[in-house]
Amino acid sequence: MKCQNTLFNKQLKEAAYRTYVCPQVEYCSTIWHPWQKHLTHRIEMVQRSAARYVKNDYQYTSSVTNMLRELKWTTLEQRRNQASLTMLHKIHNKQVNVDHSHLTTTETINSLFPTQKQNTT
């Protein structure tokens, strides 16, 4: 009974983190994406604290990196990078109404999304 209760608590805590915390941290991340290391670190600490909370492991010697791996959570930085690439793709394909002519050239964007080379032989 205790094992089921612990699993339920872990699932409940993880659901709460994903429902209430993640949207707040990721809101408009494609716009405010921090490039300074100390700001990125501060944001990542939110997720690391949440991992300790979900796993209910606050020991100083415990590895939070292992906890994140066990929870199968990607880092917030990876999620921001994915969101930025998704937005760039949408802008390039005119799926969102953003004028990007003054930001990048078509050649630069095309180099990020190479097309398959056709076999000429």
pLDDT of residue 1: 40
Angle at 74 between CA 36 and CA 18, to 5 degrees: 100
Average pLDDT (2-29) is: 79
Q: Where are the alpha helices (DSSP H) in the chain?
A: 2-16, 22-26, 29-32, 37-55, 64-71, 76-92, 106-112
Task: Tell me the pTM.
Answer: 0.67
Tokens 């405010």 belong to 32
The answer on pLDDT for 117 being more than 60 is no
